[in-house]
Amino acid sequence: MNAIFLLAGLLFTYCFNIPFGYWRANTKKFSLSWILAIHLPVPVIFLVRILIGAPLYLIPVFVIAFFSGQFTGGKIFKRRMFMSRPITSCLVMDIIRDMLK
């Protein structure tokens, strides 16, 4: 397996989970939205891991990248709340709204 593909897969896993972590931070813990925010990206990350040919012993590294992205998204949400910006559950729409101001 090529190291470039592994790094690209890990970076994708991290970046793909940031919006889901942002969404998760704006939901009630253990609600349906909270569970979906955590579990919806799993099949995509699974497919990425299969497509790049990552061996099974690298699953813990992908799990770390997964939860790091979730954590980062939650931190972005909390920082935006602290800055008193209008907040929704969608990071992309919040960024677009900020750019249009």
50-92 pLDDT per residue, tens: 999 999 999 999 999 999 999 999 999 999 999 877 788 999 9
Query: What is the percentage of the chain residues whose pLDDT exceeds 90?
Result: 84
- Quick one: which of 1, 27, 24, 11 has its CA closest to 70? 24
Domain carrying residue 32: 3-100
Q: Are 17 and 66 in contact (CB under 8 A)?
A: yes
pLDDT of 1: 64
Counting the structural domains of the chain, the total is: 1
